[in-house]
Each structure stands twice: as structure tokens, then as C-alpha cells.
Structure 1
């Protein structure tokens, strides 16, 4: 190849260099919706108690989350969902906002205690009307409804009657509840997720008592007055799996032929990283994955729990009958995953020597989670590499089933600026990563930002924010104010050119993180 030299003026050289930079820069940092398959859906997520409000209106009765919030939120923060974002009354306004953003889909949950206030028995006509109105409003605006049937808010009446998910009785009542949902809404809803975040629901609600229904061994945490941290987390997850399998069987047998919908299950995932490169920490990392993700994924795929869980938990881990195993195995049409952050894992075998161990001690690990290095903020770092590793783990260990990213979002303080550059950068990086993973063969079907607006967060109330829209909780009208991230997401969805300033922000690397204790 011949090299031809020519004399250029300084202006010509600078112009050429600028053009080259633009070409290279655009190639590296462009992001376009057209990079995704035509059937890929982009949306936002909320959940009933965190968003709807109207907790004491139109026949709704309390859920365990109402009880938890009014009981002091395990002394972590103040606030409740009595009003929340008032989505119950503002659903038309909110659906219009979604349509104006260009969203394809909206993931929300049905409040069991709004639809069937006592958990079983008569349907509440006002609750039925609300969800029909919401679903119809979404359809009228071209937005697909993705419905979660249980999002941390079991009717309090069932908790009072037989301790809720601790009892196997819940399977029958849950199946009756979802039968109502399938029958009443299934002609318009095609995507059903039975239960949200089974793994952390069992751990936080029944082991460490930091979430509804705030159960744990009283000797284990000062916030609990009842419970058994050694046994109940395992029982709860077991019954949730059985309830899911029962719901899936019901749908496939009674409704799928007419409604042609899909049944899924939701899991909170983490990027697990060994704290050191020692063989002990590497093995411990696999053990943590088995306990926190394989706990759910193994039964759904293979019909039984991971061997290490059987070994460490022993008789405290319930077993499936052959019939139950066959019912649970292959009971999902898709997996919904939530991903926010990575955690570091250190081997800690000493906990296995303790009597009356709880679920977290059965893992025999120490876990730390990362936040940003700047001590003035409490934000999740961007860990897309670890997100890719989670997707590889799911595909490699459990098969390439369809995946919906049900929750992914960035945490800031509630009163942060509406110019939430860090959230824009976070979302851009993850959406870009998903596009790359799809090109590499991952079967990802949709992406939902958590959350549509600033909702009641289960571990921080209204003190922290994940929303694309800001709400001043002191404003009696709860006016929705779009943040920069809402504009960025809308521009992306509408295929508008990306703001050059946003691209420059995205180009900067994330700050180095620091550690805080998680467990």
C-alpha cells in the first residue's frame, strides 16, 4: 500500500481531524432504538403499594406492607403508601405521560388486597373497575400491560389467619386470586409475572426482618417480635415456588388456549465477585450464587434445589415431591430479572459451626455492596461488566429462555437536581450493554426502568429516588416533574438525535466505588 504525502493548510488539518473525531466518537457512543429487534419492548416499572396510594379508599383493606409502614418501617425511615404517588386517581394523567414519552410497555402490580380485600372471598367491584380502567387506558394509548401479581404486599388478613407465606395454605388462596386476574384481565394482558423478587422477599422479610412482614428470630434482630430466621425463609420461598407453579398450571390448562399469554417469575440478581482471587473466595462466590439465585432458578429449571443448599441447610430446607418437582420444572415462559449492583463475596466458613443458623449464615460468606466513592452521595456505580456476567450465567447454566429486565435504575437522593446526569449515564450504559448482548445471542425481550417516578422505596421510603419523574411530596397536587433522564429516555425511544452534552457526560468513566456492609 503506497503512502501519499501532501501539503495541507492548518485549517484543512484541523477540519479533517474534527471530522475524524466526530466519526469515531459517534461510532463509539451512538445509541439508537433501531439497534433492537422490532418486538423488543421498552417501558417503566412501579408496584401497587409504592405508587397507587388510596390505601383506605373504595374497599381496599391493609396488606402486610401497610402494617409494616405504619409500624415504623423497622425503624429505618418514616413514610407510608397511604397516598404515595396517587396513581389510583391520576392513572389517566400518568398513562398520557407514558404515551408522550414513547413507551412500549408499563410493568405494574395488582394489589391483592384491593381486588380481593380479605385475600379470599368476594371481589371488590371498585378494585376490579380500577384495574380494568388502567388496562384499558394503556391499550388506548398503545402501551402493553405487564402485570406482576404479588409485589411484597400480601393481604394482612391472610397473615393474621395462617401466617401468610409461611403456611402451605397460601398456595390455594394465591391460585384462586390469580384465577380472578386471569379471568377478568387476561383478554388484554398477555404478560403475567407471578411473584416479584422471591429471593430477597424471603431473606429481608423472614430472615433479617427489614421488610414486610418483618419476621425473624427475635434474638436475631431487635425489630422482630415473631418468626424463625432458621426455617421461615426457606418455607416462604418454597411456597412461593409452589404457588407460582400452581398458577402457571392453571393458566396453561384454562386460559392460554384462548388468551395466548405468557407466565413468568421474577428474581433479583447481583453481579457476584470474589473479594480476592483465592480459591476459597472463588468457591464462596459460586456458593452465594447458588443460595441467592440458584435457590429459585434450579427448581424452575431442574425441579430441585442446589446441592450446596441441601447440604448446608439440611432438614430446614423443604423438599419437593416428585409431582411438585415436575410441576415447577419448566413452569416459566420467561424470566424477569432485576439488576442494580454488584456484591463482593468473601469465604466465611465459621458460620457453619453455629447452632440455629439462619439463611444468610448457611451461605458461609461475608458480603459487601458498593456505592460511589464520593461520600456525599449514595449512588450505585455502573457495573455493566457484571451485568453481562449475570446474563452469561443465566444462559450458560439454565438455558437461553426469554428474559425481561423488569427493574434497572439509579439511586440518588430525592432532592437531587432534576438534571440527573448520573441517571442518564447509568441508563445509557445499561441499554447499550443490552444491545450488545442481544447481538451476541442473549434472548432479552424487554427493558423496564425502575421507576416511572419517585415512589416509596422499601428500604428508604421517600428519602431516596429512582424515578424518571420527580414528585414534591409536600405539593397537594403531587405534580409530576420530568427529570433530564425522562427527556433522555423519551428522545431515545423516539429516535431523536442525542444531545452532545449527554454524550460527553457518558464518555467519562464512573468514579471508583467504596464498600459498605450489606449483611
Structure 2
């Protein structure tokens, strides 16, 4: 095996790269970016819409997951969430006032087609038409994700959702409805959010919906098979995506002039040591996390390391399927939050029943000075740049949209969220550096526009530019310092002392009302 020396270079030159990145502090504006570069923010349907039991919507696997008490001990479900279903006009006004170019959101499959297949729900259709019309009337581009972990529960009950090949037909029919009804105004379609994360965590370790696993020692799954189902789910996601992409290109793309892509979560992956074993293990981890999807999307087959380690448990593409999947993305959506050290672990291959992690034959360790997970994500744009550069080298310089990149804080910590401002400043500056290095990045979306209902932590943790007063029946939105900073950046203004003073006032209000 050829050792990818880029990982060693990344590992050995951390200090030098960090020092070089400091130089762009306070030295860039929005005008430094290409005119067509998009700046936006995002949410997803279950996390923001609410109205879970209104106007014909039926449950998704995320409803079931939340009702089972998996969203943290503080808030139990997304029945109300931010109530964007009723407040979308006000939220779009806030987006326009901020100066967003684009808004990334997802369509709730079980709101539009409540049973996953069959009749369209007219109320659901009306809502998404209204939201899209409101966005476009304000000059904000809608970037739509079709599946953000909220598969209709009816399909999970009928045939286990993504575990079954039957999902391909039903997902394609759902996508067809969306392309037909909204494609005259929506130009950017993402079929699946975090395909890799959903397959591993939903069907391997069981900490995402639909909570299927058999080997997890942490999550109490009542059903599933960690050795086979992650690979089946991923395989069917790829085939469903490719089927929808083929339909879009054949039936809609020429007329609608849009683009279709797929979304992955990209982790920073760094060898724990500079040994040959850890460097090779890091390359193997890259294959198991990124190549798992990017190899088929680029070359029509899974990485050789996966074929070797997973063996007959890894599904295979027929010649027709390989050609269908290969080249089926116009862009890649990337979500980036965490970085991990990788340590070689060949002994895991001796296990009888292996999951995705054991097949990878590597251990992951948190990237932090004291070896523990930190509450706030570290500010490490150089690692994101390194991962994207490696992806460019391996799979080509295709267009990339950074769909989710955000800093978490404790929900009631403060509206004076300087850590989020610092995070955004460093990553946006880092993206400019990436563009100058030749990476084909087309857009940057802050996660999240609002404090939303988070998958694993309910309302305990916060990512939003806007604070939502969940204890207030009106669910009042209040801008944080990060909202002011982002708005000023988008409008080529600078943050001054008045904004800081205003934020201090907001913090006092927050302390008194929480």
C-alpha cells in the first residue's frame, strides 16, 4: 500500500499552518470573495418547522426517535420546535435583513407525502410553495435537501426504509414530485444529508434514527444488525440518489437549469503518531468515511480497502448500477464539525461480528489537548482545508458547498457569543484561503439560522445566529452577536462598539427571561 504522505505533512506542520492562517485576521471582506460565491444559513424540517401533527403531516422516524426519549433530557421532541411552519414569513424577513444569499432547508417527506408514497398532501405542498415563494421574493436562493434523517415512519414500518431496495422506487417518486412542483424556483437539490453519518449512526451504533444496531454497548437498540445494515443503507442511499439524479437530468434539468448533489459529513482525520501504521490507518479511515460514498460517485465502485475488510457483507454494484451512480453529482455538500486522531487497530479484524468501526481497523480519539471531548468545537480551518485538498486529489475538483459549519454553545450561555463570532471569522477567512489555493468551493452556510431542536441534545445546546425564546408562547427570535457580525460581514460593514454594547444589553435581557 502506498502511504499518503499528505497526512504526515499535515500532522507535522500544524504550528506552521496555524501561524500562517493568523495573517488573514481582520484582512478580508466579502468583496474578496467571487461575486457568485454564496453565503447563507441552514436548518432542517424536523428541527425548525414544528406543526408536527397539523395539516395532514404524519410521523417520521425522527418523531419516533424523539418520542422514545433520545433527544436529551431537557426537551423531548420537535412537535413545536421553532414553529417555522407558521412563522416562515417573519423568518424570511430576518434572513433578508441579515443579507443572506441563500437558505438551506429540507422538505419533510412525511408532510408532503404522509405515507411515503401515494397521494400528495395539499397543505404540505402549499407550505413549501409559500416558503419558496417568500424566499425568492426576497432574492434568497432556496437550497433544498430532500432527506434530512426524517424518513416517513410508514416506510420504516412497511419494509425497514433504507435497509430495503424498495426505498429506491419510493424515494425517486418523492423526488419527482419535488422537482415537478418546486423546480421552477429551486435550482439546488441535495438528495440525502450526511449519507455516511446516517448509515453509521442510524444502523451501526444506533444513536441516530431509526436507532438500529446489534453491537452497540452504549445505545439500547431493540433491533438491527450492525455488521450488515450500515452497508445496505449506504448502498440504497447511493442507488436512490443516482435514480433521482437520472430522473432530474432526463426530465427536468435542461428546462429548470438546476443542479443535483449529495451531502457527506467530513471529519478531520489526523494520524495519532507519525508511524507508518497510523498513517496507513488514517488513509483507511478516509476510505471508510469518505471514499465509501465518493468512490462510487466518482468511479462507480467501493474502495478496495472496504472490499477487502468488509468482504461479502459489502453490497456490490452491477455494471448498470455502477454506471448509474458514477458521475451522478453536480456538486458535493460538506458538513464539518469534528476532528479525530486515528490510531491503527489491526486486532479488531479478528472479531467474529464486526461493525463499521471494527472493519476499519482503526481507533478514533478526540482532537483536543487533554484527550477529552470539548464542549465547543476547536477552531481549525487548516484541517478542513487539508481534508478538502485530499478529496480534490482523490476525486477531482468538483464544486463544493459547505452546507453545515457551526459552533455549539450551551443554550442559555449568552447572546454575546464571541466564541461563535471567532469561529465564523476564522472559518470564513479559511475558506478564502482555500479558494485562493484552487479549491472549488461555491458557498458557505452557517449552521444554524435559529437555535433549533438538536438531534441528540434537544434544546440544551445552541448553534443559532438567532436565539429563540422557547419559554415564550410567541417563540420570539432575538439576534446574537454572531448574527450582527455575519450581517455586517455580508454587507461589508465592520463591527463597532455599539454592536458590542447592544449585545451586552441583549445578554442582560436573556439572563432575566430564561
TM superposition score normalised by structure 2: 0.90
Displacement after TM superposition at 1:152 (Å): 0.2
Displacement after TM superposition at 1:27 (Å): 7.0
Distance in 1 between the 2:428 and 2:23 partners? 16
Q: How does 1:395-474 map to 2 (within 5 A)?
A: 395-474=392-471
Displacement after TM superposition at 1:462 (Å): 1.0
The counterpart of 2:252, out of the listed 244, 250, 255, is 255
Distance in 1 between the 2:337 and 2:273 partners? 22
The counterpart of 2:58, out of the listed 55, 61, 76, is 61
Displacement after TM superposition at 1:33 (Å): 0.4
2:230 aligned with 1:230 = no
Partners of 1:218 and 1:225 within 8 A in 2: no
Aligned-partner SS, 1:207: helix
Aligned-partner SS, 1:69: helix
Aligned to 2:211: 214
Aligned-partner SS, 2:126: helix
Distance in 2 between the 1:77 and 1:322 partners? 49
Aligned-partner SS, 1:345: strand
RMSD: 1.9
Aligned-partner SS, 1:280: helix
Aligned to 1:480: 477
Distance in 2 between the 1:245 and 1:75 partners? 35
Aligned-partner SS, 2:189: strand
Distance in 2 between the 1:376 and 1:356 partners? 28
Aligned-partner SS, 1:313: helix
The counterpart of 2:302, out of the listed 301, 305, 311, is 305
Displacement after TM superposition at 1:341 (Å): 2.2
Distance in 2 between the 1:376 and 1:104 partners? 34
- The alpha-carbon distance between structure 1 residues 409 and 388, as it changes in their structure 2 partners (threshold 3 A), is same
Alpha-carbon displacement from aligned partner over 1:83-142 (angstroms, at most 9, x marks no partner): 001110000000000000000000000000000000000000000000000000001101
- The alpha-carbon distance between structure 1 residues 84 and 313, as it changes in their structure 2 partners (threshold 3 A), is same
Once the two structures are overlaid, the 10-residue window that deviates more, 369-378 or 142-151, is: 369-378
Distance in 1 between the 2:78 and 2:24 partners? 45
Aligned-partner SS, 1:481: strand
Alpha-carbon displacement from aligned partner over 1:382-436 (angstroms, at most 9, x marks no partner): 0111011011011111100000000000011111110000000000000001111
Consecutive unaligned residues of structure 2, counting only runs of 5 or more, are: 1-21, 501-514
- The alpha-carbon distance between structure 1 residues 489 and 128, as it changes in their structure 2 partners (threshold 3 A), is same
Aligned to 2:263: 266
Distance in 2 between the 1:114 and 1:372 partners? 45
Aligned to 1:516: none
Distance in 1 between the 2:369 and 2:411 partners? 17
Displacement after TM superposition at 1:459 (Å): 2.1
Larger Rg: 1
Once the two structures are overlaid, the 10-residue window that deviates more, 129-138 or 366-375, is: 366-375
Aligned to 1:102: 99
Distance in 2 between the 1:69 and 1:430 partners? 32
2:60 aligned with 1:46 = no
Aligned to 2:19: none
Aligned to 2:321: 324
- The alpha-carbon distance between structure 1 residues 218 and 374, as it changes in their structure 2 partners (threshold 3 A), is closer
- The alpha-carbon distance between structure 1 residues 154 and 380, as it changes in their structure 2 partners (threshold 3 A), is same
2:69 aligned with 1:72 = yes
Partners of 1:74 and 1:223 within 8 A in 2: no
Distance in 1 between the 2:342 and 2:474 partners? 45
Distance in 1 between the 2:191 and 2:105 partners? 12
TM superposition score normalised by structure 1: 0.90
Once the two structures are overlaid, the 10-residue window that deviates more, 209-218 or 61-70, is: 209-218
- The alpha-carbon distance between structure 1 residues 376 and 447, as it changes in their structure 2 partners (threshold 3 A), is closer
Displacement after TM superposition at 1:31 (Å): 2.2
The counterpart of 1:113, out of the listed 110, 113, 124, is 110
Aligned-partner SS, 2:353: coil
The counterpart of 2:135, out of the listed 128, 138, 156, is 138
Aligned to 1:125: 122
Displacement after TM superposition at 1:79 (Å): 1.8
Distance in 2 between the 1:425 and 1:222 partners? 34
Displacement after TM superposition at 1:356 (Å): 1.1
Once the two structures are overlaid, the 10-residue window that deviates more, 227-236 or 78-87, is: 78-87
Displacement after TM superposition at 1:72 (Å): 1.1
Q: How does 1:492-511 map to 2 (within 5 A)?
A: 492-499=489-496
Aligned to 1:198: 195
Displacement after TM superposition at 1:369 (Å): 2.3
